[in-house]
Amino acid sequence: MDTTKIHPDLKQKFSEMITLDFDWETIDMEEARRLVNARNAGNPIPTDKSVTITNKYIPGPSGAPDIQLRIYKPTEHDEFLPGILWIHGGGYMFGKVESDDYLCQKFVSEARCVVVSVDYRLAPENPFPAPLEDCYTSFLWLHEKAQELSVDRSRIAIAGPSAGGGLTAALALLVRDRKGPSIVFQMPLYPMIDHRSTTPSSYEIMDHRVWSRKKNIHAWKMYLGEHLHGEISPYASPALATDLSGLPPTYTCIGTLDLFRDETIDYVKRLNQAGVPTEFHLYPGCFHAFERVEVNAEVSKRAVNQYIQVLKSALGS
């Protein structure tokens, strides 16, 4: 990774970032998650009084535990609103349902919608397909309970960053193929969608302050579990999907210094070739999850504002 190319708005923060390079063969996952959550707690999460946040547990897939959902709604509203199923990131191994409180509140207040964030099971304890099935079950619940939630069933989108972007892309494929309820829009942000790690950008990013090649290879190993050495499903690794037709209109973005750059660009190209309306933004000098690492940078604010505006347009809100 050529650090001289880092966006000027991000250079100072990048120099201060803590390296988290675990010994993946010996690390206790609960301890690893504690360290990751501690590092990610650096940005304060202001409370928006115009947004009400509640937690709810729903039945999980057959034989699986209940799923926690975190629901964000306008404190005052008297109309049916668009809905978003939000899927947090974390390399399929990390992340928690409340980690995106700040962003989900912004969606509600600025895009005038209801957000349901899903606390899916994590690898390696729960490899594919458990996390995806949790997301699918949560999507069906959101559609089924739309009236109760004051959500317009015809305006439900799915979205998430990184591994959450991978699960978003996978969920869109799964809902299409299972002939599930309509998804009006998908927003897989800088998505983790290709287990093969063979693109040029997957070799460029070695710096352990960001999502690096070593982390990526291990995360896919943990997520795929027993499937690793067999035939890999496109629902696990969406870049393998040969047919992208019939997917919902899409928005995605990526930084030029993101390990997922090339797999995202290829995904966008193939969505367009399949006739899926797709909008894409490439941010020069930006590394993985830059807008979360340095929320106050101008480029970060611009990125967040762009996908909020895209959501507003797609949802008609």
Q: Provide the residue range defining the domain that includes 43.
A: 3-315
Q: Which residues pair with 184 in a beta bridge?
A: none
Per-residue pLDDT tens listing for the chain (317 residues): 788 899 999 999 989 887 766 676 677 888 888 877 776 665 556 678 899 999 999 999 999 999 999 999 999 888 899 999 999 999 999 999 998 999 999 999 999 999 999 999 999 999 999 999 999 999 999 999 999 999 999 999 999 999 999 999 999 999 999 999 999 999 999 999 999 999 999 999 999 889 999 999 999 999 999 888 889 999 999 999 999 999 999 999 999 999 999 999 999 999 999 999 999 999 999 999 999 999 999 999 999 999 999 999 999 97
CATH number of domain containing 175? 3.40.50.1820
Q: Please report, in angstroms and rounded to a whole number, the separation of the first and last CA atoms in the chain.
A: 40
Closest CA to 29 of 134, 124, 142, 159: 124
Contact (Cβ atoms closer than 8 angstroms) between residue 20 and residue 42: no
Q: How far apart are CA 176 and CA 165, in angstroms?
A: 17
Q: How far apart are CA 172 and CA 178, in angstroms?
A: 10
Cβ neighbours of residue 179 closer than 8 Å, sequence gap 6 or more: none
Domain total of the chain:
1
pLDDT of residue 39: 66
- Integer CA distances (angstroms), 12 to 6, 9, 17, 297, in order: 10, 7, 9, 10
Q: How far apart are CA 177 and CA 202, in angstroms?
A: 29
Catalytic annotation, residues? 162, 258, 288
- 3-state class (DSSP) for residue 252: strand
Cβ neighbours of residue 38 closer than 8 Å, sequence gap 6 or more: none
Contact (Cβ atoms closer than 8 angstroms) between residue 116 and residue 69: yes
pLDDT of residue 43: 53
Q: Which residues pair with 55 in a beta bridge?
A: 70
Six-digit token string for 51: 């947004």
What pTM, to 2 d.p., does this model score? 0.95
